[in-house]
Amino acid sequence: MSDAEGPITLREFSEMDVERLKGVGEKKAEALRTVGIDNVLDLLTHYPRRWIDRTNEARIRDLLPGEQALVLVTVQAISGRRTRGRPPKSLVTADVTDGSGHLRVTFFNQAWRERQLSPGTQAALFGKLELFNGRKQMTSPIVDLIGDKTGKVVPIYPQSEKAGLTTSDIGTFVAEVLRRSTVRGILDPVPADVLARFDLVGREAAIRGIHGPDGMDEQDRARERLVFDELLGIQLALVLRKQALEQTARGIRHDVSGELVDRFLGRLPFDLTAGQRDAIAALSADLAGPHPMHRLLQGDVGAGKTVVAVTALLAAVEGGHQGALMAPTEVLAEQHALGVRPLLAGLTVGAGEGAGQLFDQRELAVGLLTNRTTAKERERLLVGLAEGTVDVVIGTHALIEEGIAFRSLGVVVVDEQHRFGVEQRAALRDKGAGGVVPDVLVMTATPIPRTAAMTVYGDLDVTEIKTAPEGRKPITTVWERTRPHADGQLSLAELAVWDHVKREVEAGHQAFVVCPLIEESEKLEVRSAQATFDELDAGPLAGLRLGLLHGRLRPTAKEATMEQFRAARLDVLVATSVIEVGVDVPNATVMVILDADRFGIAQLHQLRGRVGRAQLPSWCYLVAAGQSPDAERRLEALCDPKSGQDGFVLAEVDLEVRGEGTVFATRQKGRNDLKLASLLRDRGVVARAREVAFELVGADPGLARHAELLDEVTLFLDEDEREFLAKS
Ligand code: ADP
Ligand code: MG
């Protein structure tokens, strides 16, 4: 690293092979690659996962039994043997000391520890202190080899036992990079006034501080800055992308003054809520404008998003274009069809040119296109879409990917449920006729935490429906704990809920019973639903009128059952999670969800939204053993009388329980991942980074005057994204 040029950029680091570092030969380079480190930038962003604060370390002498502790020790003796039990295990025992006291450490079935921890080795041990025959002991602690580090704070890196890469190797390599960077320094591309406003340390101080802090507060400050950088990078990419879309894509100026939407709204048996009216106004403005809409419609379960989405589809149809409603799965597509078809039934549209005067109006045509659509129907639909005689089509996102030709696709509504990402949405750009980009409305049927939304949907404008239609009563949610069953079978007759179900039915109301989810196999799920139905019909709910609904039924059979339930000719609907969306029976006041711990929080919240739709008090029973702490946390969150109905609170719990990786499952893998930032812990920073990104891009379109920052943003993008931004 010569001092010929200015400070070193991250791009330069990314172009330096790790093999250029002292001590990194072919073998270590290979080992580094196995943990994802190819170049010096990878190395510098391979952040420690813990820091051992030597100024504040625990002493063996002071430890109490049962306490979790981190101790720095030297190995005095170690030996291994096989136990006599069946099957025999290997047992390695080490005696260690930290000068204040002695500790015995045991490992089961980790015979290699004997080689790893030879006498004299220094290691950090993290584990629970036990007393065994009056001696202090730890069983299978987490071990980090730290070498003879002298700093006050020792970073512990994610290492690889298998590849023979220790935390002390990595620390040494990082230290060398930092030493060699002293002369030129490390470039900081973030404007100084931004750093000053948020009281952030400089880039170089942050990189040095995260790897070799003098104290834990220095490490905190370093982390704060690097987290900001990570989130700012993502937000800049999204805001740039948004800007590029807005500037380059040609959209359709939809006619939003027409009467089709009015006719539709006029026929609804209720008035729109203020939130729905505002959302429709925002959509209309987008639709009427020259640029394609890219809007996210967020709102809790039951907020009434469907009506809003349907108005957008109708606006397209009004002007002679078509609308598509896409769901992430076949089942969800079918459910949407069940929900949307009745809303559109009876609406008429202009029949278009060539039609006789007498027949200048025809029924608005809605099609459902999934894998289950018969070949004949499919053929008919494809012709209709190409000719424009099918106005609205509902299906999975295969709709846009399979090269299906539309006469003029005007509006696409995407029901995401977390499952579509930026890439899938990008496919839409190529779908309109003659280079025209259709308007896109993304609905999240399940709220996700705001910070996650900003990160995953940051290229969209956001409309939020904040309030549910009036008169909704909270749904009393009760966890009926079952005992775990040895054979995995739940005995339905044992449950207490059926009395309540019967009482509700006697009072003239209806109930849902949701069958256990079996994700691996629809066939098994159907079989289990049938068994549940039979068991209830013969036992606990004998005498009530039961219906059964599952995914394997023909659409006509499904529709017929639904209709019977709607018309109250059935008392109880036993169903698989098919009823998650689209079932709308205000007279239903109880829901019983069997094996509720198999569902995720979002899904349970969504399911529960099928009751509590009228002014009647309603209940949801979650039947589950709740054997894992995660399941317990989920079920308790839903039952919380204060926050258990608040989708955003639930979404945060969900994020906590499932981990953050899942939020990004739809994002491209690779560099753009969060390494230090946490969407939960750093939620405030997400908002700040977004604000700064809008400011910077707003004042300097395309970041033309912030070349270094722009270069860094593109460094973290994948090929497609880069190309897209470059084109515009
Ligand atoms: P979401 O998709 O946001 O979860 P839906 O669109 O499925 O919610 O609507 C939930 C229920 O509320 C449906 O039964 C719908 O008919 C009803 N609904 C929608 N808007 C209103 C309103 N303004 N007033 C009363 N009920 C409404
Ligand atoms: Mg809905």
Q: What is the pLDDT of residues 610-661, one digit of tens each?
A: 888 778 899 999 999 877 888 888 999 999 988 888 887 888 888 777 766 5
Q: Are residues 312 and 381 in the same domain?
A: yes
674 occurs within a structural domain: no
Q: Are residues 121 and 161 in the same domain?
A: no
Q: Are residues 519 and 622 in the same domain?
A: yes
**413 Cα to the center of ligand 1, angstroms:** 17
Nearest one of 74, 64, 68 to 97, comparing CA atoms: 74
In SS3 terms, 381-428 reads as HHHHHHHCCCCEEEEECHHHHCCCCCCCEEEEEEECCCCCCHHHHHHH
Is 118 within 8 Å of 132 (Cβ atoms)? no
Q: Are residues 344 and 370 in the same domain?
A: yes
d(CA 321, CA 333): 21
Is 402 within 8 Å of 382 (Cβ atoms)? no
d(CA 24, CA 43): 12
Pocket test for ligand 1, best of 264, 268, 270 (most atoms within 8 A of CB): 270
640 occurs within a structural domain: yes
Q: What pLDDT, on the 0 to 100 scale, is given for residue 398?
A: 73
d(CA 141, CA 58): 15
Is 18 within 8 Å of 173 (Cβ atoms)? yes
| C-beta 299 within 6 A of ligand 1 | yes
Nearest one of 468, 16, 552, 121 to 272, comparing CA atoms: 468
- Range scoring the smallest mean pLDDT among 318-332, 436-450, 465-479: 436-450
Q: Are residues 509 and 546 in the same domain?
A: yes
pLDDT band at 177 (very low <50, low <70, confident <90, very high): very high
CA 284 remoteness from chain centre: 29
Helices (H), 189-259: 192-197, 203-211, 216-248
Average pLDDT over residues 298-327: 91
**668 Cα to the center of ligand 2, angstroms:** 27
| C-beta 273 within 6 A of ligand 1 | yes
**599 Cα to the center of ligand 1, angstroms:** 23
pLDDT band at 4 (very low <50, low <70, confident <90, very high): low
Q: Beta strand pairing status for 322-327 and 461-465?
A: unpaired
Query: Which CATH number covers residue 91?
Result: 2.40.50.140
Which of ligand 1's atoms lies nearest the C-alpha of 443?
2
Q: Are residues 315 and 365 in the same domain?
A: yes
d(CA 65, CA 67): 5
Cβ atoms within 10 Å of 168's Cβ, excluding its own: 20
Q: For 80, which DSSP code?
A: E
| C-beta 584 within 6 A of ligand 1 | yes
Residue range 291-303, pLDDT digits in tens: 889 898 988 888 8
Residue 337 has pLDDT above 70, yes or no: yes
Residue range 531-552, pLDDT digits in tens: 999 999 999 999 999 999 987 8
**521 Cα to the center of ligand 2, angstroms:** 25
- Taking the CA of 303 as reference, the closest ligand is 1
Cβ atoms within 10 Å of 628's Cβ, excluding its own: 11
- Range scoring the smallest mean pLDDT among 113-127, 575-589, 623-637: 575-589
479 occurs within a structural domain: yes
**657 Cα to the center of ligand 1, angstroms:** 29
Q: What pLDDT, on the 0 to 100 scale, is given for residue 283?
A: 94
| C-beta 446 within 6 A of ligand 1 | no
Q: Beta strand pairing status for 322-327 and 409-415?
A: parallel
Q: Which is more confidently placed, 39 or 660?
A: 39
- At 712, list the tokens: 């860094």
Q: Are residues 353 and 410 in the same domain?
A: yes
Which of ligand 1's atoms lies nearest the C-alpha of 305?
3
Residue nearest to atom 5 of ligand 1 (CA): 304
d(CA 584, CA 560): 14
Which of ligand 1's atoms lies nearest the C-alpha of 273?
23
| C-beta 278 within 6 A of ligand 1 | no
| C-beta 243 within 6 A of ligand 1 | no
Nearest one of 7, 1, 46 to 21, comparing CA atoms: 1
Q: What pLDDT, on the 0 to 100 scale, is given for residue 665?
A: 44
| Measured CA distances, 155 to 457, 480, 617 (Å) | 35, 47, 56
Residue nearest to atom 15 of ligand 1 (CA): 304
Domain encompassing residue 416: 260-288+304-444
85 occurs within a structural domain: yes
Q: Which residues contact 447 (CB under 8 A, 6 or more apart)?
A: 298, 299, 300, 301, 647, 648, 650, 651
Q: What pLDDT, on the 0 to 100 scale, is given for residue 666?
A: 40
Q: Are residues 498 and 603 in the same domain?
A: yes
665 occurs within a structural domain: no
pLDDT band at 671 (very low <50, low <70, confident <90, very high): very low
**474 Cα to the center of ligand 2, angstroms:** 18
246 occurs within a structural domain: no
| Measured CA distances, 88 to 108, 137, 231, 709 (Å) | 10, 22, 50, 59
Judged by DSSP in three states, 476 sits in: strand
Pocket test for ligand 1, best of 307, 343, 414, 463 (most atoms within 8 A of CB): 307
Q: Are residues 156 and 274 in the same domain?
A: no
d(CA 464, CA 660): 23
Q: Are residues 520 and 391 in the same domain?
A: no
- Taking the CA of 583 as reference, the closest ligand is 1
| C-beta 304 within 6 A of ligand 1 | yes
Q: What sign has the CA pseudo-torsion 56, 57, 63, 66?
A: positive
Pocket test for ligand 1, best of 306, 446, 562, 581 (most atoms within 8 A of CB): 306
Q: Are residues 576 and 617 in the same domain?
A: yes
207 occurs within a structural domain: no
Which of ligand 1's atoms lies nearest the C-alpha of 584?
14
> Cα angle vertex 536, ends 535, 539, to 5°?
80
Which of ligand 1's atoms lies nearest the C-alpha of 606?
4
Domain count, the chain: 4
551 occurs within a structural domain: yes
Q: Beta strand pairing status for 361-363 and 348-350?
A: antiparallel
d(CA 591, CA 576): 12
- Of 167, 186, 205, the one marking the end of a domain is 186
| C-beta 328 within 6 A of ligand 1 | no
Q: Are residues 480 and 621 in the same domain?
A: yes
Q: 0.95 cut: is pTM over it? A: no
d(CA 625, CA 634): 12
| C-beta 294 within 6 A of ligand 1 | no
- Taking the CA of 613 as reference, the closest ligand is 1
